[in-house]
Amino acid sequence: MTVFVERCALGPEQGMRVAIKDSIDVAGMATRMGSAAFDNAAPAARHADVVERLLDAGCRIVGKTVLHEFAFGVSGINPACGTPRNHRYPNRIPGGSSSGSAVAVAAGEADIALGTDTGGSVRQPAACCGVYGFKPSFGRVSRHGVWPSATSLDCVGVFASTLELLERATAIVDPRFEAQAFDGELRIGLVAVEADAAIAGAVRDYVTASGCSAGEVELQLLDAAFEAGLAIINAETWNAFGACLETGRVGADVAERLKRAAETSPQAVADAERVRQAFGEQLDALLERFSVLALPTLPSFPLMLDEALAGKTDLRSTALVRPFNLSGHPALSIPLDIDGRPAGLQLVARRGDDARLLAAARELERLVAINDNND
């Protein structure tokens, strides 16, 4: 199973095992971004801030994980470094771009893992692989030593097999985070979206099973926010990695996407920034009425692996996650299994309310478990 670019053993023998996406610096190890273009990269001189915090907390770094090249893809297919095999759903893609980190947790190779989420790159592979994935509010977790260095979308996020582990990890990498009990009434805004009927039904059934107060809401700018997020990631990724095309060592799928990204106009970026502002305001208004918003993580089931290996891709798999990178709101993917197929329930909260979001998720799971036991 191709999960790690390179294994290591940094930190105490008994510490919590952590896998690190290979877009995050670990001192003494090269950061290659999943690309043959960086095969000769020099070892990092120092740890990224998040790695330093993990080691200071007594964690053990077990290795750096494979990613979709340049963190610029959603399938996790990587011909240069190998494609991590989805441990729980081996016939389906692991998702991207943080594919190796999701697989490492799902396979028990690590207790927690760090990824980065620019357009769903933690939450989407988390849902594909059947684990929890959390994207914090933009700017809460240090990106010093994380690549690309210039971004208005990217966040360091956490994978874990349980909410408890997810909260422990988040408290380490985010110095302002303190786990809390959920207080008050849990009110859920169930976002109406275009999704596979089985996935939409499972999300609705889960929320209903909790017995929480819930109301259906619409995000009229959701599709526009998805397109705006694409425009901004295209412009920022071209600025960061476009010059790598000259090496001739960029994978065919990413090279083609980079060439298209080069065509992103300043006007498209300016238009996207206007959508960012309006969409954020729309979310903020809804989150005055609801504790969290709930919607599917994935609009459809993940691609079959053989389809992706044959060249098929599906950027629309990030249609329901990418908008919250644009707005900067914290978002969590809770794993769902629907008749042996992976999916996810996504919860979104107010910017800066990261601890309350995870507390709401814990309360939601508690209520669903109680009601299941009473049936």
Which residue ranges form the domains of the chain, and what is each CATH number?
Answer: 4-374 (3.90.1300.10)
The pLDDT of residue 77 is: 97
The pLDDT of residue 203 is: 98
The pLDDT of residue 342 is: 98
Mark whether 21 is an active-site residue.
Answer: yes
Lowest mean pLDDT among 125-134, 331-340, 365-374: 365-374
The pLDDT of residue 375 is: 63
Q: Is the pLDDT of residue 291 over 70?
A: yes
The pLDDT of residue 215 is: 97
Q: What does pLDDT average to over the chain? A: 97
Q: Are 116 and 154 in contact (CB under 8 A)?
A: yes
In this structure, the strands spanning 331-338 and 341-348 are antiparallel
Catalytic one among 23, 35, 101, 121? 121
Q: What is the arithmetic mean of pLDDT over 114-139? A: 98
12-51 pLDDT per residue, tens: 989 999 999 999 999 999 999 999 999 999 999 999 999 9
Q: Is the pLDDT of residue 73 over 80?
A: yes
Catalytic one among 23, 35, 75, 97? 97
The pLDDT of residue 1 is: 64
Catalytic one among 21, 98, 135, 152? 21
Mark whether 312 is an active-site residue.
Answer: no
Q: What is the arithmetic mean of pLDDT over 119-142? A: 98
The pLDDT of residue 300 is: 98
Q: What is the arithmetic mean of pLDDT over 257-266? A: 98
Taking alpha carbons only, the member of 3, 2, 71 closest to residue 31 is: 71
Distance from C-alpha of 272 to C-alpha of 276, rounded to nearest angstrom: 6
Backbone angles phi, psi at 343, to 5 degrees: -155, -175
Q: How far is CA 71 from CA 14, 100, 146, 202, in A?
A: 31, 11, 12, 30
pTM (2 decimals)? 0.98
Looking up tokens 């309006």 gives 278
The pLDDT of residue 373 is: 76
pLDDT band at 372 (very low <50, low <70, confident <90, very high): confident
Mark whether 97 is an active-site residue.
Answer: yes
> What are the structure tokens assigned to 162, written together?
């349980």
Q: Is the pLDDT of residue 240 over 90?
A: yes
CA triple 71-75-80, angle to 5 deg: 65
